[in-house]
Structure 1
Amino acid sequence: MNLNTTLDPVLLRSFVAVVETGSFTRAAESTHLTQSTVSQQVRKLESQIGCELLHRKGRYVTATLEGERVLSYARRILHLMVEAVSQTSLSVEQQKIRLGVPEDFATHAIMPTLADFSRRYPGIRLEVKSGMCSDIWREFQRNELDLALVKQRQNSQPGLASWPEPLCWIDSLEGNNLQRDPIPLVTFPIGGLYRSEMAHTFDSLGRSWRLAYVSTSLSGVCCAVEAGLGISLLPKRLVTAKHRILDETDGLPQVADLELTLHAQSQLSAYDKMLADELIGACEEMFLR
């Protein structure tokens, strides 16, 4: 055998199939080739190596001593080829990072971090989806997101990192919507944590309430409260100069803090981990202000 001979994986695949099935006919079926093609390929491999690889006499085709040696290498070569293609495909797939964030963090809060990451790693396709936390969490559980920032009740779901999110009741600066009956509420669609907390609070107080404004837009909710359409429950950091914070002196109980938690799938690429670290840094800076 010429030591510079290159073994064709196509020939190796036919040889392995014959040994494993014990028949040229069955090998042809498993490789989706004709019997004559499989036979020709094995003959060509034997010619390249310079020895017989198969015992062709008897009911079953078996490997010769030399054939058994070649079989071991052939299997390893074919396995490495499959592994190389699999790992390359995985690497390409990992060039995409899918991130879910609440709407109030999809504006100025973390945009500089995301923009800077995209500039430094132009080969990474960063896909960011913002929306209601309930929707983001469902997509994360379906493995449709690699990383997800979500608001949740404290200690409900462990993640990579968590930060407290204090809430407060707000009305317009000049408004007095608590004196109205029913009390007008400005809130998000059903399923949101703020909405369920608002409804539970007024039900427990025995106060009637109605939905005055419902929107998936955080800016829309904030503007509706500023305009005096009703009362809302929002994170303290979102209070503006046109809002008035309501508390126990107004007859409203203090609401337990929520928490912002960064969740990650169990299998992450190196770039996923780098982005997670940068998001943690951005959130630490934001909540320490």
Structure 2
Amino acid sequence: MRHLDTESLGMLIAIVDTGGFTAAAERVGRTQSAVSARIAQLEDNLGVRLLERSRRGISLTETGERLVAHARRLLAYESEALADLKGGTPEGSVRVGMPDDYVDAYFTPTIARFAAAYPRVEISIRADLSKHIEPEVDRGHIDVALLTRDSARPTGELIKREKLLWLAARGYRPERNSPLPLALFPTGCRARPHIASSLDKAGLSWRVACTSSSQGGIHAAIETGLCITALPECAAPPDWRRLGPAEGLPPLPDIEVALFLAPAASSAARRLADMLRAALAMPVVEAA
């Protein structure tokens, strides 16, 4: 009877996550040649090619993609079983994803509590647009994610509804300009269509004066006093002006924040998810 070698599977996952054999070898504490030999042996045992090597780098074959999905679940179950038998706290790593404007508001208060409770768990954070992170959760590349729901295709577990606010720096009146100058996250941001639609329905002309993929970039643009923005209430700096009908701006719809877990989420990932649920608790939680 043939069995899958979990150590080789771990090496394969390390190659996928790090993008190459050298970085993967450093992660697993082996030499590059040893990792290469184990992957070659795994391919030989299975009778299939798992990786494609080209000048552009390394990528998974279709079979490799399927095996990695299984491998992540197997290793997660193995880790959970070992932790249960040892009677200890979770170990390993948890990969977290969320938009940049959620990190300080939602994750910073939780990460200190989680690190104190589970000091042997390594946390890595990816800040990116929700539409980019969501498929990575499905593929098992991200373990836990807090994302803005796609209103056209709501998925994940609804955790919180957030108000979108019009904001400007104190001491400036950029909302008086026409067209209205905006600082926004890039195209693909799930709040951006709501912002544009609200302005269009109100018959207001507007233009994008600044685009930034980071919260810091948006803040810098607003502090110049040249434009306004719309952010979730949780991410609104307390010293910025809140704008609304008195300034001639239309109301904005709420956005929905959802929790996503990878198919083979480890016990550490699930415990972090529990902490996030508690921190962002809302009266009604729906599952989709």
What TM-score, normalized to structure 1?
Answer: 0.60
The alignment status of 1:216 with 2:235, answered yes or no, reads no
- Distance in 2 (alpha carbons) for counterparts of 1:154 and 1:214: 22
**Matches for 1:1-289 after TM superposition, within 5 Å:** 90-92=77-79, 95-107=92-104, 109-152=106-149, 156-284=153-281
How far residue 136 of structure 1 moved from its aligned partner, in angstroms, is 1.5
SS of residue paired to 1:100? strand
- Distance in 2 (alpha carbons) for counterparts of 1:120 and 1:241: 31
Q: Which has the larger radius of gyration?
A: 1
| Relative contact order, higher structure (CA 8 A, sep 6+) | 2
**Structure 1: runs of 5 or more not aligned:** 1-8, 11-30, 32-85
How has the CA–CA distance of structure 1 residues 228 and 256 changed in structure 2, closer, same or farther, with 3 Å as cutoff? same
CA offsets, 1:157-177, max 9 Å, x none?
Answer: 343441111111112223222
Question: Contact 1:225–1:243 at 8 Å: present in 2 too?
Answer: no
Structure 1 vs Structure 2 CA RMSD:
3.1
How far residue 184 of structure 1 moved from its aligned partner, in angstroms, is 0.9
Query: What letter corresponds to residue 214 of structure 1 in structure 2?
Result: T
- Distance in 1 (alpha carbons) for counterparts of 2:96 and 2:206: 36
How far residue 149 of structure 1 moved from its aligned partner, in angstroms, is 0.5
What TM-score, normalized to structure 2?
Answer: 0.60
How has the CA–CA distance of structure 1 residues 166 and 153 changed in structure 2, closer, same or farther, with 3 Å as cutoff? farther
How has the CA–CA distance of structure 1 residues 233 and 213 changed in structure 2, closer, same or farther, with 3 Å as cutoff? same
How far residue 99 of structure 1 moved from its aligned partner, in angstroms, is 1.6
Question: Contact 2:159–2:280 at 8 Å: present in 1 too?
Answer: no
Question: Contact 1:154–1:257 at 8 Å: present in 2 too?
Answer: no
CA offsets, 1:75-132, max 9 Å, x none?
Answer: xxxxxxxxxxx96785259933222122123236423532443454344333221222
SS of residue paired to 2:191? helix
SS of residue paired to 1:110? helix
SS of residue paired to 2:209? strand
Query: What letter corresponds to residue 262 of structure 1 in structure 2?
Result: L
Matched with 2:22 is none
Question: Contact 2:140–2:264 at 8 Å: present in 1 too?
Answer: no
Pairs aligned (count):
203
CA offsets, 1:35-67, max 9 Å, x none?
Answer: xxxxxxxxxxxxxxxxxxxxxxxxxxxxxxxxx
Question: Contact 2:105–2:235 at 8 Å: present in 1 too?
Answer: no
Question: Contact 1:202–1:208 at 8 Å: present in 2 too?
Answer: yes
Q: Which moved more, 1:124-133 or 1:227-236?
A: 124-133
